């Protein structure tokens, strides 16, 4: 079979879906862990330290992700950090999304509230125990729906790595329609559908959590 | 924990954080400088048994990704393979070529950043570029030409010297600067890559694409609706490039390239890639 | 670092201007379109709701780059739109889906009694919606709308993919030429921060002012 959906083209494209999903999963795990730590620092208001971290987090949050990707791939090697397109994408996405996650976790912690902290402290738990056993689990639970929305953005944003020639879904569709302009429309429909299926399932998951938590 | 103690911890932690960031940057810059000064790339290539080449991924005939293999294929890639094999032979060892896709805009940056050892990416030898990278002798006699839609009234570069025409160039190439000399009155726009330039031409966003003739032949082969018109109006030979200061690697590549030409491999590759291009006699390209 | 700016200030400022222009057009366009789709999502007619929801879900779940490239390589072959407009239209469509969601949230948190009261006073659904409910929904949605505007400015860097001559595109051109991506991207980053920081400042002020009005 030839044309836009020849066997080799389909296989090539599906491998791209694998790269997209792979980059997404690794970045989600790293940014969730790093973002949670940052979120706790932002919430805890350690003198000076929280302000310093807030400055860094706000700076990164307010930059275009594309800029961070370019910076990681082209500028960080000047500091001796050698990265290929895949690790550069994972690094840039993890740093950027961690700051987003931090803000969500901080919001979750705030919403659980001071009342709970006081109650727990009065039972004789220390501050760290209170945070770890009482506040954080509830805050994480409340943060699940906004976190999932953020991770949907993350999946979509992996397409930006096309700019540094990461062979993910978007890039591969361009390679295929580069063979023949007639393949353009079928390719756009296909990748839109693939992204939609992945992200819409995630958003249904978010809605399900939303209902269960209320 | 007293408030005072917490304050002190916070202050110390912030100072450490800031120092780590600033120190990291300075340390990194210095380490990178030292490393670039100290290493002999040819030695590294021999030791790691791999040579990392930057090749194009969007350029028909020179470096275009084939979905079957997921790797770039074309004249550049084959030359890089042949040269790598020849270097291995000369040095009496085995070397595997490794290919990193580059764009027109990123190829020099990746070379300078040490993300690739050498570049075979249809790169014109210019005095400007020669200041930052070291070129081998030319491996392909490219020259700038123009591609138009079939039936276009434009038949040569001179016709384009008119404000009613828009000429499409590709970001990071030298073609648009040259273009301005030959047709100063034409409007120009720059596209990020060749395929987008071609769609811009097909969709009528511009009246002609100008870049190296060989790339235009690739585009003409891809789209039956376009043709290259007029003879090339510049002489812009392609060269292989290594980072500045890597004299031994450059010599090794140069020597291997000459040997590839001498043993007929070069001509075989020219025939393989350029024998069925309409309007191009591949024998003119042989060495 | 300063010499990068002094040597390329014209290019950089051109890019800066294009980024602002695209963001402003994107803002106006996506506010209009977003409002329309929020209203459709909340419309009494089932078929209108389906249309609104389908639109919002579609554009929220596919990457901005896919939308932009579609306009750039497919739509541009029938309609003569260049990189700037492909990118800006992509921005409008993509952002409007998010704005619709913010507005829907804002409108939903307006007390349902307001609509009922207005209707019982003889206003039609459209009148009640546009005069009573929507303005309040807007106010309630301002914090989340502000976030979308900041995202819009950041997302305008998508223009660099389609030769839109925005700040990001010029940054790539400059760093490709001077081979100093480190300092070039830092300078451009500072310019982006300048825009996003001003947007969040304006949004904060708006929030405070409206917060006061609500209390009064």
The predicted-structure confidence for B40-51, as pLDDT tens digits, reads as follows 889 999 999 999
Interface of A with B in 131-160 (CB under 8 A): none
Residue A71 near chain B (CB below 8 Å): no
Question: How far is Cα of residue B283 from the mean position of the Cα atoms in its chain?
Answer: 24
> How many other β-carbons are positioned within 10 Å of the β-carbon of residue B4?
9
Taking Cα atoms as reference points, which of B187, B183, B152, B154 lies closest to residue B168? B187
Q: Which pLDDT band holds residue B195 (cuts at 50, 70, 90)?
A: confident
Return d(Cα C198, Cα B270) in angstroms, integer.
Answer: 57
Q: How far is A116 from chain C (nearest CA, A)?
A: 26
Residues of chain B contacting A85 with CB distance shorter than 8 Å: 100
pLDDT at B113: 87
Domain architecture of chain B: domains with CATH? 41-141+237-285 (3.40.190.10), 144-229 (3.40.190.10)
Q: Which pLDDT band holds residue B172 (cuts at 50, 70, 90)?
A: low
User: What is the pairing mode between strands B187-191 and B166-170?
Assistant: parallel
Question: How far is Cα of residue B230 from the mean position of the Cα atoms in its chain?
Answer: 25
**Residue pLDDT, tens place only, B220-229:** 887 778 888 8
Structure tokens at B55: 């090749």
The region that residue B70 occupies, defined by phi over 0 for left and psi between -120 and 50 for alpha, beta otherwise, is: left
Task: Name the one residue in this structure whose structure tokens are 């993910």.
Answer: A168
**Residue pLDDT, tens place only, B231-250:** 788 888 999 999 998 999 99
The pLDDT of residue A59 is above 50: yes
Secondary-structure percent of chain A, ordered helix, strand, coil, rounded to 5: 85, 0, 15
Residues of chain C whose C-beta is under 8 A from some C-beta in A?
A: 57-58, 60-66, 69-70, 73-74, 150, 154-158, 160-161, 168, 171-172, 175, 181-182, 185, 188-189, 192-193, 196-197, 200
Return d(Cα A80, Cα B38) in angstroms, integer.
Answer: 14
pLDDT at C214: 57
**For residue A107, is it within any domain?**
yes
Residues of chain B contacting A74 with CB distance shorter than 8 Å: 106, 109, 113
Q: How many CA within 13 A on the CB side of residue A164?
A: 26
From the candidates B102, B173, B192, which should be mutated to test the interface with C, based on the most C CB atoms within 10 A?
Answer: B192
Helices A7-44 and A184-213 cross at an angle (nearest 10°) of 40
Structure tokens at A82: 């050698």
Q: How far is C45 from chain A (nearest CA, A)?
A: 23
Q: Do A77 and B199 count as a contact with CB atoms less than 8 A apart?
A: no
Residues with Cβ within 8 Å of B23's Cβ and at least 6 positions away in sequence, in order, are none
Cβ-contact C32, C46 below 8 angstroms? no
pLDDT (average), residues A42-67? 94
The pLDDT of residue A195 is above 50: yes
Cβ-contact B36, A72 below 8 angstroms? no
Percent of chain C past pLDDT 70, that is, above it, reads: 97
The pLDDT of residue B194 is above 80: no
> How many other β-carbons are positioned within 10 Å of the β-carbon of residue B1?
8
Q: Which pLDDT band holds residue C171 (cuts at 50, 70, 90)?
A: very high
| Better pLDDT: C86 or C213 | C86
Return d(Cα A50, Cα A102) in angstroms, integer.
Answer: 12
**For residue A92, is it within any domain?**
yes
**For residue A213, is it within any domain?**
no
The pLDDT of residue A203 is above 50: yes
Residue A63 near chain B (CB below 8 Å): no
Q: Which pLDDT band holds residue C190 (cuts at 50, 70, 90)?
A: very high
From the candidates B102, B129, B174, B196, which should be mutated to test the interface with C, based on the most C CB atoms within 10 A?
Answer: B196
Residues with Cβ within 8 Å of C32's Cβ and at least 6 positions away in sequence, in order, are C96
Query: H or E stretch including C107?
Result: helix C83-108
Burial class from Cβ neighbours inside 10 Å (0-12, 13-18, 19+) for residue B268 reads: middle
**For residue A45, is it within any domain?**
yes
Taking Cα atoms as reference points, which of A63, A142, A152 lies closest to residue A104? A142
pLDDT at C216: 47
What sign has the CA pseudo-torsion B147, B149, B151, B153?
A: negative
Question: How far is Cα of residue B43 from the mean position of the Cα atoms in its chain?
Answer: 24
Count up the domains in chain C and report the number: 1
Helices and strands, number each (H, E), in chain B? 10, 13
Closest-CA residue in chain C for A200?
Answer: C61
The pLDDT of residue B28 is above 50: yes
**Residue pLDDT, tens place only, C4-34:** 888 889 999 999 999 999 999 999 999 999 9
Note down the domain range covering A36.
18-168
Give the DSSP per-residue string, A7-53: HHHHHHHHHHHHHHHHHHHHHHHHHHHHHHHHHHHHHHT-TTHHHHH
**Which residue in the set B14, B28, B68 is minimally distant from A49, CB to CB?**
B14
pLDDT (average), residues C49-67? 95
Task: Name the one residue in this structure whose structure tokens are 């913010």.
Answer: C102
| Phi, psi angle pair for A92, to nearest 5° | -60, -45
Residues of chain C contacting A75 with CB distance shorter than 8 Å: 181-182, 185
pLDDT at A133: 86
Question: How far is Cα of residue C196 from the mean position of the Cα atoms in its chain?
Answer: 12
Percent of chain B past pLDDT 70, that is, above it, reads: 96
Q: How far is B137 from chain A (nearest CA, A)?
A: 28
pLDDT (average), residues C210-215? 65
What sign has the CA pseudo-torsion B38, B40, B43, B47?
A: positive
Return d(Cα C40, Cα C29) in angstroms, integer.
Answer: 17
**For residue A1, is it within any domain?**
no
Closest-CA residue in chain A for B70?
Answer: A12
**For residue A32, is it within any domain?**
yes
Mean pLDDT of all residues in chain C?
A: 91
Q: How far is B28 from chain A (nearest CA, A)?
A: 4
Burial class from Cβ neighbours inside 10 Å (0-12, 13-18, 19+) for residue B147 reads: buried
**For residue A203, is it within any domain?**
no
Partners of residue B210 on adjacent β-strands: B146
CATH of the domain at C144: 1.10.3720.10
Note down the domain range covering C80.
2-215
Burial class from Cβ neighbours inside 10 Å (0-12, 13-18, 19+) for residue C5 reads: middle
pLDDT at C213: 66
Least confident of A28-32, A163-167, C82-86: C82-86
Residues of chain B contacting A9 with CB distance shorter than 8 Å: 67
| Better pLDDT: C196 or A132 | C196
Q: Do B109 and C176 count as a contact with CB atoms less than 8 A apart?
A: yes
The pLDDT of residue B5 is above 70: yes
pLDDT at B285: 80
CATH of the domain at A113: 1.10.3720.10
Q: Which pLDDT band holds residue B191 (cuts at 50, 70, 90)?
A: confident
pLDDT (average), residues B73-91? 95
User: What is the pairing mode between strands B118-120 and B187-191?
Assistant: unpaired
pLDDT at B130: 92
> How many other β-carbons are positioned within 10 Å of the β-carbon of residue C139?
17
Q: Do C80 and B203 count as a contact with CB atoms less than 8 A apart?
A: yes
Residues of chain C contacting A192 with CB distance shorter than 8 Å: 62, 66, 70
Return d(Cα B97, Cα B265) in angstroms, integer.
Answer: 17
The pLDDT of residue B116 is above 50: yes
Q: Do A74 and C70 count as a contact with CB atoms less than 8 A apart?
A: no
Residues of chain C contacting A177 with CB distance shorter than 8 Å: 73
Percent of chain B past pLDDT 90, that is, above it, reads: 45
3-state secondary structure of B227: strand
User: What is the pairing mode between strands B226-229 and B144-149?
Assistant: antiparallel
Which chains border A (3 or more CB–CB pairs < 8 Å)?
B, C
3-state secondary structure of B5: helix
Helices and strands, number each (H, E), in chain C? 9, 0
Residues with Cβ within 8 Å of A194's Cβ and at least 6 positions away in sequence, in order, are A17, A169
pLDDT at B199: 80
pLDDT at A213: 72
pLDDT at C215: 52
| Phi, psi angle pair for A40, to nearest 5° | -65, -40
Cβ-contact B232, B213 below 8 angstroms? yes
The pLDDT of residue B270 is above 90: yes
Closest-CA residue in chain C for B188?
Answer: C163
**For residue A164, is it within any domain?**
yes
3-state secondary structure of B3: helix
Residues of chain A contacting B7 with CB distance shorter than 8 Å: 47-48
Residues with Cβ within 8 Å of C49's Cβ and at least 6 positions away in sequence, in order, are C40, C41, C42, C43
**Residue pLDDT, tens place only, B137-169:** 999 988 898 999 988 898 888 889 989 999 999
Q: Which pLDDT band holds residue B287 (cuts at 50, 70, 90)?
A: confident
């Amino acid at each position: 079979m030839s044309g836009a959906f020849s066997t080799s083209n389909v296989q090539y494209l599906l491998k791209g879906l694998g790269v997209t999903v792979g980059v997404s999963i690794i970045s989600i795990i790293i940014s969730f862990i790093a973002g949670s730590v940052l979120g706790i620092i932002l919430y805890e208001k350690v003198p000076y330290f929280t302000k310093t971290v807030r400055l860094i987090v706000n700076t990164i949050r307010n930059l275009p992700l594309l800029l961070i990707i370019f910076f990681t791939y082209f500028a960080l090697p000047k500091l001796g950090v050698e990265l290929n397109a895949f690790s550069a994408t994972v690094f840039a996405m993890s740093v950027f999304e961690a700051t987003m996650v931090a803000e969500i976790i901080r919001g979750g912690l705030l919403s659980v509230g001071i009342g709970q902290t006081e109650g727990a402290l009065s039972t004789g738990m220390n501050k760290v125990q209170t945070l770890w056993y009482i506040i954080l689990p509830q805050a994480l639970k409340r943060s699940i729906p906004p976190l999932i929305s953020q991770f949907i953005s993350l999946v979509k944003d992996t397409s930006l790595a096309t700019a540094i020639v990461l062979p993910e879904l978007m890039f591969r569709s361009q390679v295929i329609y580069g063979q023949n302009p007639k393949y353009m429309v079928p390719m756009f429909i296909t990748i839109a559908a693939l992204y939609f299926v992945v992200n819409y399932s995630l958003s249904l998951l978010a809605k399900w959590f939303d209902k269960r938590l209320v | 924990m007293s408030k005072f103690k917490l304050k002190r911890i916070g202050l110390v932690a912030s100072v450490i954080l800031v120092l780590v960031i600033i120190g990291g940057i300075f340390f990194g810059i210095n380490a990178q400088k030292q490393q670039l000064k100290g290493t002999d790339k040819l030695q590294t290539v021999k030791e790691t048994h791999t040579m990392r080449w930057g090749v194009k991924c969007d350029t028909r005939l020179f470096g275009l990704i084939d979905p079957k293999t997921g790797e770039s294929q074309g004249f550049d890639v084959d030359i890089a393979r042949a040269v790598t094999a020849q270097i291995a032979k000369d040095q009496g060892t085995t070397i595997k070529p490794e290919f990193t896709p580059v764009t027109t805009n990123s190829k020099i940056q990746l070379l300078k950043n040490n993300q690739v050892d050498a570049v075979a990416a249809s790169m014109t030898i210019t005095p400007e570029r020669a200041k930052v990278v070291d070129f081998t002798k030319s491996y392909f006699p490219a020259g700038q030409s123009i591609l138009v839609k079939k039936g276009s009234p434009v038949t040569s570069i001179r016709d384009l010297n008119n404000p009613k025409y828009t000429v499409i160039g590709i970001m990071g190439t030298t073609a648009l600067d040259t273009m301005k000399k030959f047709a100063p009155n034409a409007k120009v726009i720059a596209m990020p890559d060749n395929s987008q330039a071609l769609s811009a031409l097909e969709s009528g966003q511009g009246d002609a694409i100008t870049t190296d003739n060989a790339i235009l032949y690739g585009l003409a082969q891809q789209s039956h609706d376009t043709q290259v018109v007029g003879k090339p109006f510049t002489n812009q030979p392609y060269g292989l490039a290594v980072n500045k200061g890597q004299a031994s690697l450059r010599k090794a590549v140069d020597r291997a390239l000459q040997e590839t030409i001498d043993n007929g491999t070069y001509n075989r590759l020219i025939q393989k890639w350029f024998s069925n291009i309409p309007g191009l006699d591949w024998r003119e390209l042989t060495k | 670092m300063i010499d990068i700016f002094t040597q390329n200030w014209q290019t950089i400022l051109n890019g800066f201007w294009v980024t602002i222009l695209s963001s402003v057009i994107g803002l106006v366009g996506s506010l209009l379109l977003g409002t329309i789709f929020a209203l459709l999502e909340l419309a009494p007619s089932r078929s209108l709701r389906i249309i609104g929801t389908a639109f919002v879900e579609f554009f929220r779940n596919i990457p901005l780059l896919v939308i932009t490239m579609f306009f750039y390589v497919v739509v541009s072959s029938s309609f003569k739109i260049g990189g700037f407009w492909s990118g800006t239209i992509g921005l409008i469509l993509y952002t409007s889906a998010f704005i619709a969601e913010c507005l829907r949230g804002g409108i939903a948190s307006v007390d349902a009694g307001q609509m009922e009261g207005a209707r019982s006073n003889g206003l039609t659904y459209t009148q009640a919606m546009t005069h009573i409910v929507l303005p309040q929904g807007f106010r309630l949605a301002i914090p989340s709308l502000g976030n979308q505007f900041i995202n819009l400015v950041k997302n305008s860097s998508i223009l660099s993919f389609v030769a839109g001559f925005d700040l990001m595109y010029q940054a790539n051109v400059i760093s490709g030429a001077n081979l100093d991506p480190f300092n070039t991207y830092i300078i451009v980053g500072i310019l982006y921060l300048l825009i996003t920081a001003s947007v969040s400042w304006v949004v904060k002020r708006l929030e405070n002012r409206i917060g006061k009005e609500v209390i009064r």
